[in-house]
Amino acid sequence: MPASDPALAGAAAVALTGLADAYRPRPVTPLMPWRYANRLVKPYVVTARGRQWDDQMVDLARTTATRQLEFDDAMGSVGLGVVVLHLGDDGIYLVVQSWAKDFQSRLSIFSGMDVDDLRPAPIGAAPCVWELEVLSHERTAYVKHILSGDVDVDSWLDDALDTRPKPQLDGIPSGT
């Protein structure tokens, strides 16, 4: 949509420009799959600049996610899910998605100031652009490896999004 579109004049144009100027990609780190008796989950961590995570944070998030996944199982989950722990600028978010019967998914969002303070997000909350990047990848992986042709759970598990910066190997040699 061109910036000259009259529908986006004035304050709307300024708001869009501000968003575009402030946006920066965030690294997405895939973790080892979580394996349960009747469920497989692909967990991820997304981090804003300056935010760091550790195993204890992931364990606390897993506890919250597991309670939601158990509820999702009772509501018709097919046993595959995705969890996104997002350490944002303004708080911590946990997105839990379970694939369900009839081509549906269940989506729950939790938020808090710290990972041990996660509570269900307010009604109407939706994933942000960085969380949607993971969910978009996971939707494609689910269709490709589970719904199209043979069900290949191993390939689905291996198909993980990883946007962490890669080391540059073409720099100055170390001399060793």
Summarised one tens digit per residue, pLDDT across range 101-138 is 989 999 999 999 999 999 999 999 999 999 999 999 99
The DSSP line for 3-39 is: TT-GGG-THHHHHHHHHHHH-----EEE-PPEEETTE
Confidence of residue 1 (pLDDT cuts 50, 70, 90): very low
Q: Contact, 128 vs 136, CB < 8 A?
A: no
Choose among 27, 152, 42: nearest CA to 96. Answer: 42
Q: What three-state secondary structure class fits 42?
A: strand
Choose among 161, 168, 172, 169: nearest CA to 43. Answer: 161
Alpha-carbon span 45 to 26, nearest angstrom: 10
Tens of pLDDT, residue by residue over 159-176, are 999 999 988 777 666 655
Alpha-carbon span 47 to 27, nearest angstrom: 6
